[in-house]
Structure 1
Amino acid sequence: MTMTADICVYGGTPAGCVAAMTAYDEGASVILIEPGRWLGGMLSAGIKPRQDCPIPAAVGGLTRDAVFGFGDNPRDVLRAFHDWIDSADITVVFEHRVRSAERAGNRITAIQLETSQPDPWGVPLPADASVPDLEIRASVFLDASYEGDLMARAGVPYRTGRESQDDFHEDFAGVRPVTNWTAIDPYAAGELLPLLDQDHGLPVGARDDYTQAYNFRFYVTTDPARRAEITPPAGYSAADYELVRRYVEHLGDDLEALRGIFPGWLNSGEYNYQRASLVTNAPLGVSREYQDGDWNTRSRIWRRHIDYLRGLHHFLSTDPSVPEAFRKETAAYGLDKSIFPDTDGWPPQLYVRVARRLDGIYTLTHADVVNRTDPEDSIGLALFGVDVYPVRRIAQRDPETGQWGVATEGDMFIGGHLGTGRPYPVPYRAITPRQADCGNLLVPVCLSATHIAYAATRMEPVFCVLAESAAVAAVQALRDRTDVQRIDVPKLLTRIAERGQVTGWGTHADV
């Protein structure tokens, strides 16, 4: 079966929904493809629409006028996204993902989809269980997925991992000094403990293929009416949590520090990764495999995040090495199934903080983040600090005493929530492949940025803003029958300004 539209938007993330509504508003026919069965991505899975937006005045368009009004309860946000898309004449294809792409010259002519039904807890279908199904034909494509799969299947160049300090002259790039060093023996019988990575030994500033940790933004409750029991995974062994046991022993009876392991950091009603804790509610090191992995790999890693959390909860609830008061506190918790009723309390989206990144016409770097550049083709503002969660957990000797310990590496929060205190522009060229690479694709989520710059830009309101501008550009390319690289950019900037986008901060007082 073949379906056809003017614009194909891949990914029902918040950005994908904004792009689809924008293209529809601009008069194009639209197909929106979502590999799962839920719209709204991370905003339907724990993050609040305004949560990563410390300067609301820097946000305009549909993000401000629609998405920001969807509420704070993920269940309500999910419903709002579905109702919003249902209000328009947009064809939505659920439970399908891109399998391959056809090209003619520098243009995508069609994409082939495969089935991708998630399991009852939201885990994506493995590649081996998927079968080819639909074909989608469109004039212009937008990749609004967190993984950049359409971009990759179309053969467009992209980056993964961490650049070196020298690649883009970024002082904070590459391998970083360790954090959270703790005097814990990382070995048992001469073998590295589970939950630790073997140190690759690269120096500070070197390039590697790691990226920051993923996790779930989840809710827990002790209310029997809402509580879904957290059961141990199949094959659970306390030995797999020996590092946790040693860390618990190190912390002693400090209940607040123990809560940093589980549930973690209470962010805005939901629990997040506690970056100040050596061990917390998500595994480290596995995101590197997810970035460019197939769906067998990704499905396994997604489930590993679930099973790790299940095993961690069981260990902390039952193991005699854990202080009794904390055992009882942890055992009382279950997932709050009233928040995520479709998946028995598990969030329907793993927080994929970064995966592939377009290698496009313009690459955002730390110089952009700190306002050392002034691009003339800004299509929206970004406004957060460089926010990188831990990348690895490794065995590490104390450089002074030589004592073995365990540490995390990669954690950074440069500039805090306000970054430099002044929003920075994201140019149209940063969502645009080179013309020879693809003339009818725009990438507003997996945009062209270094690992450092992406860590500041990767916020849902920013993705939504860029997606609205991308959709306007896509419709302009459609009508002008030209490549996205050859559109009239001043005309684009005029139109997005008419739609209420904020693309510069010159008339605003610094925050």
Structure 2
Amino acid sequence: MAIFAHTPTFDVVVYGSTSGAVAASIQSAKLGLNVALVSPQEHIGGIQIEGLGATDIDNQDEVFNSTTVGGLALEFHRRISTFYNRLPRLEEVVAKNIKDTEVWRFESRVAEKVILEWLAEFDNIRIIFGSLAATDSVIKKGAEVCSIKLRTKQIVSGKVFIEASYEGDLLAASKVTTTHGRESSSTFDESLAGVRENTPYTQLTVDIDPFKIPKDHSSGLIYGISTEPFGKAGDGDKHLAAFSYRLPLTDAVENRLPFYKPDGYNPAHFELHRRFVNSGGKLYTPKVRLPGQKTDLIGSEAPLATDLLGMNDGWVTGSEEERKQILEDTARFTKGLMYFFANDDSLPLEFRQEWSRFGYCLDEFPDNNHFPRMLYIRDARRMVSDYVITEHTASMDNGETPVEDPVGVAYWPTDTHCVRRILRDGKVHNEGFIFKDGHRWRPFGIAYRALVPRQEEATNIITATCPSSSHVGYGAVRLEHQFYALGQACANACDIALKKSIPLQNVPYGDLKKRLLEQGMILDVSKVGVPHFPDN
């Protein structure tokens, strides 16, 4: 039997390595609480330190969402701008409501430096590296979570717990109801839910022979195409929005590591790309858009980009070992794709030459051969509580009444990446993207009720990153600066609950709202503006 070592009991235990975990820990510490930040990853900061530098702030024509950035999210960007000697410009942008995409962008190495220095300012934050034990990882007394067990053989005890992982592992281990995948359209009467009848965004629009031996159905499908049938539009399933590596690249020669052939490279994995080009399809090339003469690949720049359709479905329920295998497999594929783009003779010379100008950044991820250590986990578990954020929460035309308990504002389309690459009517088809395809979306207040579980399931756990939401609704919530807001709200709610000795579900919203406003948070959705559609 494994012997676990007990740590002291903390006021707040934050589980996760994300931006939400950072915000929850820092705000708890500012309130004088004794905090354990339990990080399952070796590096703390989430996708902000793993490649995402072109933030989703003011970066779309119809979106001016910097009006929602306040509290610790704004403090993070002030610290980033201080590093780049552009703080006066950021302050001008905020004060005068100026749309300036560039002032919100940064390099991952800078984000990690800022976050580590920020956390180090607080003596009452103890960082503990370790993930939940494989079994029996949560100790509960009735509906109260008492302790968590880690694979490092530590037991971390606390008075309140904040789930701040992308995966929702702590919620699941605490027997809080969660879900993952896509609901059917009938579950919440969502027109965008489930299998998509039409997926116009990043769709393949050229005919590609999908068989290993052209026109020979018996030879099987080429790599990357699922044998799964299309199914019925609107039906639910357990597929996840595609993950990808938010991959920083540079064309600065002095900082560039040329794309190399990874171990296990299989040129057959890119036959789909060859045939796409031969059929007249257009591949994409990188664009510098970050400080340091860098770009970061989003994953969805084109029908065939770095989004890993169907390759990450096992992530949510996978063991730590299975997740490591997914990381290994998807890193090999992504590195192989970069090498293929720069070197394969089947591609146009001009295209190869353009990709060859770029390479991995020598000043990023030095411990992982300059390749990100973690995928962009866009879609994992979501809590199921008494209140659920859905398509209707985010709809301009058929929307719900604005919530009365907002703890932050979501200002982004219902954005979920494709989930499958299949055959439909004999053609290769990307299925599942929801972004700019006719949905008149709106900003909305993120309800406090979406952060707390049903009271009978757990009274002292709250989530910053896995709120109660549908697959469609979560697509509008899952932005990093919005996770900062939710982490800050969770910390304040925990402090109030501790001081009043009440369940988190019973935290008086008036008390919470007063604190959040005093801390510079943005709560009033009526004051942040709305997206501009052609017929607005």
Scaled by the length of structure 2, what TM-score is found? 0.84
In structure 1, the residue matched to 2:74 is 64
Alpha-carbon displacement from aligned partner over 1:399-434 (angstroms, at most 9, x marks no partner):
xxxxx3212011121479x974x5211111101000
SS in 2 for 1:32: strand
Q: Which amino acid aligns with 1:184?
A: I
Q: Distance in 2 between matches of 1:266 and 1:350?
A: 21
Alignment of 1:35 with 2:40, yes or no, is yes
Q: Which amino acid aligns with 2:405?
A: D
- Paired residues for 1:270-419 under 5 Å: 270-273=295-298, 275=300, 277-370=302-395, 371-397=399-425, 404-414=426-436
In structure 2, the residue matched to 1:128 is none
Q: Distance in 1 between matches of 2:188 and 2:42?
A: 39
Q: Distance in 2 between matches of 1:343 and 1:383?
A: 34
Alpha-carbon displacement from aligned partner over 1:162-215 (angstroms, at most 9, x marks no partner):
011100011111001243243001112420111111233311111011121111
SS in 2 for 1:393: strand
Alignment of 1:248 with 2:258, yes or no, is no
Alignment of 1:150 with 2:206, yes or no, is no
In structure 2, the residue matched to 1:203 is 232
SS in 1 for 2:482: helix
276-285 vs 185-194, which moves further: 276-285
SS in 1 for 2:326: helix
| Displacement after TM superposition at 1:91 (Å) | 3.3
Quick one: structure 1 residues 393 and 36, their matched pair in 2 at CA, closer, same or farther if it must change by over 3 Å? same
178-187 vs 7-16, which moves further: 178-187
Quick one: structure 1 residues 200 and 289, their matched pair in 2 at CA, closer, same or farther if it must change by over 3 Å? farther
In structure 2, the residue matched to 1:170 is 190
Q: Distance in 2 between matches of 1:56 and 1:211?
A: 28
Q: Distance in 2 between matches of 1:510 and 1:226?
A: 40
Alpha-carbon displacement from aligned partner over 1:235-279 (angstroms, at most 9, x marks no partner):
322222221221121237xxxx3325xx5x766542324536332
SS in 1 for 2:254: coil
In structure 1, the residue matched to 2:96 is none
| Displacement after TM superposition at 1:230 (Å) | 3.1
| Displacement after TM superposition at 1:40 (Å) | 1.4
SS in 2 for 1:66: helix
Quick one: structure 1 residues 494 and 317, their matched pair in 2 at CA, closer, same or farther if it must change by over 3 Å? closer
In structure 1, the residue matched to 2:496 is 476
Q: Distance in 2 between matches of 1:68 and 1:288?
A: 37
Alignment of 1:186 with 2:224, yes or no, is no
Q: In the comparison of the two structures, how many residue pairs are matched?
A: 479
Q: Any conservation in 2 of the 1:18–1:62 contact (CA below 8 Å)?
A: yes
SS in 2 for 1:366: coil
Alignment of 1:433 with 2:462, yes or no, is no
Q: Any conservation in 2 of the 1:24–1:88 contact (CA below 8 Å)?
A: yes
In structure 1, the residue matched to 2:90 is none
Alignment of 1:90 with 2:124, yes or no, is yes
Higher strand share: 1
| Displacement after TM superposition at 1:96 (Å) | 0.8
In structure 2, the residue matched to 1:107 is 144
Q: Distance in 1 between matches of 2:524 and 2:416?
A: 26
Q: Any conservation in 2 of the 1:49–1:68 contact (CA below 8 Å)?
A: no
Q: Distance in 2 between matches of 1:2 and 1:414?
A: 50
Q: Which amino acid aligns with 2:6?
A: T
In structure 2, the residue matched to 1:118 is none
Q: Distance in 1 between matches of 2:463 and 2:528?
A: 28
Q: Any conservation in 1 of the 2:246–2:299 contact (CA below 8 Å)?
A: no
In structure 1, the residue matched to 2:156 is 136
471-480 vs 326-335, which moves further: 326-335
| Displacement after TM superposition at 1:94 (Å) | 4.7
Alpha-carbon RMSD: 2.3
| Displacement after TM superposition at 1:507 (Å) | 4.7
Q: Distance in 1 between matches of 2:528 and 2:358?
A: 46
Quick one: structure 1 residues 198 and 273, their matched pair in 2 at CA, closer, same or farther if it must change by over 3 Å? farther
Q: Which amino acid aligns with 1:217?
A: R
Q: Which amino acid aligns with 2:18?
A: T
Q: Any conservation in 1 of the 2:79–2:114 contact (CA below 8 Å)?
A: no
Q: Which amino acid aligns with 1:60?
A: G
Alpha-carbon displacement from aligned partner over 1:435-472 (angstroms, at most 9, x marks no partner):
11111100110111000010011111111101111110
Q: Which amino acid aligns with 2:145?
A: I
Quick one: structure 1 residues 471 and 49, their matched pair in 2 at CA, closer, same or farther if it must change by over 3 Å? farther
Alpha-carbon displacement from aligned partner over 1:31-88 (angstroms, at most 9, x marks no partner):
1111222221111123248533532222322212334542412211110000000001
Quick one: structure 1 residues 64 and 237, their matched pair in 2 at CA, closer, same or farther if it must change by over 3 Å? closer
Quick one: structure 1 residues 273 and 198, their matched pair in 2 at CA, closer, same or farther if it must change by over 3 Å? farther
438-447 vs 498-507, which moves further: 498-507
Q: Distance in 1 between matches of 2:528 and 2:208?
A: 50
Quick one: structure 1 residues 194 and 147, their matched pair in 2 at CA, closer, same or farther if it must change by over 3 Å? same
Q: Which amino acid aligns with 1:82?
A: L
Scaled by the length of structure 1, what TM-score is found? 0.88
| Displacement after TM superposition at 1:368 (Å) | 0.8
Q: Which amino acid aligns with 2:51?
A: G
Q: Any conservation in 2 of the 1:337–1:346 contact (CA below 8 Å)?
A: no
Alignment of 1:219 with 2:248, yes or no, is yes
Q: Any conservation in 1 of the 2:327–2:374 contact (CA below 8 Å)?
A: no
SS in 2 for 1:412: coil
SS in 1 for 2:239: coil
Q: Any conservation in 2 of the 1:45–1:348 contact (CA below 8 Å)?
A: yes
Q: Which amino acid aligns with 1:63?
A: A
Q: Distance in 2 between matches of 1:159 and 1:476?
A: 28
SS in 2 for 1:219: strand
Q: Any conservation in 2 of the 1:143–1:443 contact (CA below 8 Å)?
A: yes
309-318 vs 164-173, which moves further: 309-318
SS in 1 for 2:204: strand
Q: Any conservation in 2 of the 1:384–1:419 contact (CA below 8 Å)?
A: no
Q: Distance in 1 between matches of 2:138 and 2:299?
A: 40
Query: Where does structure 1 differ by over 6 angstroms across 4 or more consecutive aligned residues?
Result: none
464-473 vs 293-302, which moves further: 293-302
Identity among equivalent positions (%) equals: 29
Q: Any conservation in 1 of the 2:26–2:119 contact (CA below 8 Å)?
A: yes
Quick one: structure 1 residues 135 and 410, their matched pair in 2 at CA, closer, same or farther if it must change by over 3 Å? same
Q: Distance in 2 between matches of 1:415 and 1:247?
A: 24
Q: Any conservation in 2 of the 1:364–1:453 contact (CA below 8 Å)?
A: yes
